[in-house]
Chain A
Amino acid sequence: SQQGEEDPQALSIQEGENATMNCSYKTSINNLQWYRQNSGRGLVHLILIRSNEREKHSGRLRVTLDTSKKSSSLLITASRAADTASYFCATSRGGFKTIFGAGTRLFVKA
C-alpha cells in the first residue's frame, strides 16, 4: 500500500540553520502535501505540490518532488525556534483518501 515515509525521524538543529526533511512513497500519486503539527495541536497545511511540478516555494519553505525516485523534500531555511514541530508528508492519488507518513520531529534550538 502507498505510504509516505519521512526521513529522518527526528532532527535537531540550531536556530538560523536550514532543515531538510525527506519523504518517500511507493505508488504513483496525483499530489503530495506537507503538513506541520505543533505538539498537542491539529495539523496545519503547509504546501501542496502536484505530480507534474518539480519545485514549489512558500516563504521560507521549499518543496521538491522527484516522481522518478518517488521522493520529496521539504527545506525550511533560516529556521526559528517556532518551527519546532512534527512535519508530515501526505500523498494522494486523487479523490479523498490521503495517506500520511509517521512524520519528522524537528527541534530548533534557540
Chain B
Amino acid sequence: NAGVMQNPRHLVRRRGQEARLRCSPMKGHSHVYWYRQLPEEGLKFMVYLQKENIIDESGMPKERFSAEFPKEGPSILRIQQVVRGDSAAYFCASSIELAGALDEQYFGPGTRLTVT
C-alpha cells in the first residue's frame, strides 16, 4: 500500500508564475489536508478537503491560493502569481475518515517550492 504521494518534490517558479502541487492520498483515504512549512517553523494548516468538497479553508490565504480534490485524480493546491514569500515546503496528509479525536493523518514527503 503506497503512502501519500506528492509531486513534484521540488518546484522552482519565477515571480508571477503559477504553481501546481499534487497530492495522491493513501488508498482508501478520502480526507486530504494541506499544510505549509516555512523555513525553521512548524507546519501551518491551510485547507481540509473531502472528495469534491472543501470542508475548511480557514488557513489558506484568500487570494491567489486555491485547492481542489476532484472525484477522480489527485488533490491539487494551486498558487497563482507566486511571490517570494510563497517559498516553503507544502505537505499533504490524508486520513481514512473523520473519526473524532483518533484520526491519524499520514503525511506525504512534501513539495518544496522555491520562487525566484
Give the B-binding residues of A (Cβ under 8 A). 4, 30-31, 33, 35, 41-45, 48, 50-51, 88, 90, 92, 94-103
Find out whether the CB atom of A96 lies under 8 angstroms from the CB atom of B110: no
Q: Which of B41, B102, B109 contacts A31 (CB 8 A)?
A: B102
Q: A30-B101, A43-B91 are in contact. Are A98 and B107 (CB under 8 A)?
A: no
Which 6 interchain pairs have the tightest Cβ spacing? A30-B101, A43-B107, A100-B42, A42-B109, A100-B43, A102-B42
Find out whether the CB atom of B107 lies under 8 angstroms from the CB atom of A96: no
Find out whether the CB atom of A102 lies under 8 angstroms from the CB atom of B41: yes
- Complex Cα distance A98/B98, Å? 12
- Complex Cα distance A101/B103, Å? 18
Measured between beta carbons, the chain A residues less than 8 angstroms from B42 are 4, 88, 100-103
CB contact list, B59-116 vs A, under 8 A = 59, 91, 93, 95, 98, 100-110
Measured between beta carbons, the chain B residues less than 8 angstroms from A4 are 42
Q: Which of A31, A44, A102, A103 contacts B101 (CB 8 A)?
A: A31
- Complex Cα distance A100/B95, Å? 17
Find out whether the CB atom of B106 lies under 8 angstroms from the CB atom of A95: no
Find out whether the CB atom of B45 lies under 8 angstroms from the CB atom of A45: no
- Complex Cα distance A99/B73, Å? 27
Find out whether the CB atom of B44 lies under 8 angstroms from the CB atom of A100: yes
Measured between beta carbons, the chain B residues less than 8 angstroms from A48 are 102, 104
Count chain B CB atoms within 10 A of each CB in A51, A88, A102 and give the residue with the most: A102
Measured between beta carbons, the chain A residues less than 8 angstroms from B52 are none
Measured between beta carbons, the chain B residues less than 8 angstroms from A100 are 35, 42-45
Q: How far is the CB of B2 from chain A (nearest CB, A)?
A: 13
Q: Which of A35, A41, A96 contacts B109 (CB 8 A)?
A: A41
CB contact list, B5-43 vs A, under 8 A = 6, 31, 33, 35, 40-43
Measured between beta carbons, the chain B residues less than 8 angstroms from A30 are 100-101
- Complex Cα distance A4/B106, Å? 19
